[in-house]
Amino acid sequence: DYKKIISQPLFTSARRPPTAKRTLLLETTTKTDLLLLKIKGIVANGIKKMVLLERNNKLIELYEGSQLDGWTLKKIGPNSIILSKGKAKINLLRTRDDKTPTISRNTKWLPKDRSPK
Domains, the chain, ordered by start: 21-91 (2.30.30.830)
DSSP secondary structure, 62-100, as one string: EETT-EETTEEEEEEETTEEEEEETTEEEETTS-TTS-P
Contact 49, 60 (CB under 8 A): no
Q: What is the pTM of this model?
A: 0.55
Contact 68, 39 (CB under 8 A): no
Instruction: Kindly indicate the confidence band of residue 90, based on its pLDDT and cuts at 50, 70 and 90.
Output: confident
DSSP secondary structure, 13-71, as one string: TT-----SPPEE--S---HHHHHTSEEEEEEEETTEEEEEEEETTEEEEEETT-EETTE
- How confident is the model at residue 27, as a pLDDT? 44
- How confident is the model at residue 36, as a pLDDT? 77
Better-scored residue on pLDDT, 20 or 53: 53
* Digit-coded pLDDT (tens) for 68-81: 888 999 999 878 89
Instruction: Kindly indicate the confidence band of residue 66, based on its pLDDT and cuts at 50, 70 and 90.
Output: very high
- How confident is the model at residue 69, as a pLDDT? 85
- How confident is the model at residue 25, as a pLDDT? 42
